[in-house]
Amino acid sequence: MSDPAADTGYQEPPPRMGFFTDTSVCIGCKACEVACKEWNAIPEDGMELTGMSYDNTVGLGASTWRHVAFIEQRKPVSVGPDTDVLGISPQGAVTPGREEGELRWLMASDVCKHCTHAACLDVCPTGSLFRTEFGTVVVQEDICNGCGYCIPACPYGVIDQRKGDGRAWKCTLCYDRIGDGLEPACAKACPTDSIQYGPLDELRERAAARVETLHDAGVEEARLYGADPGDGVGGAGAFFLLLDEPEVYGLPPDPVVTTRDLPSMWRHAAVAAAGLLGATALACLTGRRR
């Protein structure tokens, strides 16, 4: 028996794709930054150290679509001779070792979150920003008019305008690569699989299992950020496993889509406009009667 879907040429849409960044295994090598710049032909944006540890780019911007943060902390960490960077032994047990107050680094590769409810899409007047068939958010630079509305609309401060250009730029999740069945450049280059790419539902399951493994190993501070579809942006298309509070990594603790109040604002404006028109009409009628 023939398949009706095949007869009509119907094809199932691809699943929503995204990033899961496991900061617990990030080694701060910046291979993701380099790969992103090379593949997307992004200009250089700072070769000098900023004084913020080994961070030379400070944050995401028009010419920094992947940013590796180095956070220095003085906090008790368990590390033994046969453990990984979290102090987790091959057997999965936390081993004693490092004393309280000794320095540790938290490293994390940040990127555009490709929000489910993306305020940048809501405010773009030209349609330059669009959602792809993979659920990601992309800027079409040839349509962008440089108005800059999307910049304050982003609750994460991701989008920026490039100097000397004026247009908005940000991560595309390598739309040109994933359309051909390839991994994004940053995920392909990551040597520790800190950056993982795939169907978002599968990544969320994998991330939840990873957090449970870390908790069982005694790393109680491990948590997910951006993986909850019920959060203020409807869940992020690029989410993270963190080892401390989001603010430590420069991330907002409770991001909310900045255009959430637009419908009610338009309703109030419509009511006010209707009231003004009614008052004007009444005034005109009253004046004629006199």
When pLDDT is averaged across residues 238-260 and rounded to a whole number, the result is 92
Rounded mean pLDDT of the chain? Answer: 84
* The predicted structure's pLDDT at residue 79: 46
Percent of the chain with pLDDT over 70: 78
Could you tell me which residues are annotated as the binding site? 26, 29, 32, 36, 112, 115, 120, 124, 144, 147, 150, 154, 171, 174, 186, 190
Cβ neighbours of 30 (radius 10 Å): 20
Backbone angles phi, psi at 210, to 5 degrees: -65, -40
Confidence of residue 14 (pLDDT cuts 50, 70, 90): confident
Domain 13-257 has CATH 3.30.70.20: yes
Q: Which amino acid is at 87?
A: G
Displacement of CA 167 from its chain's centroid (Å): 20
- pLDDT score of 287 more than 80: no
Could you tell me which residues are annotated as the binding site for [4Fe-4S] cluster? 26, 29, 32, 36, 112, 115, 120, 124, 144, 147, 150, 154, 171, 174, 186, 190
Prediction pTM value: 0.79
Q: How far apart are CA 85 and CA 102, in angstroms?
A: 14
- pLDDT score of 248 more than 80: yes
Q: Where are the domains of the chain?
A: 13-257, 260-290
Q: How far apart are CA 85 and CA 27, in angstroms?
A: 8
- Per-residue pLDDT of 136-184, as tens digits, reads 999 999 999 999 999 999 999 999 999 888 999 999 999 999 999 999 9
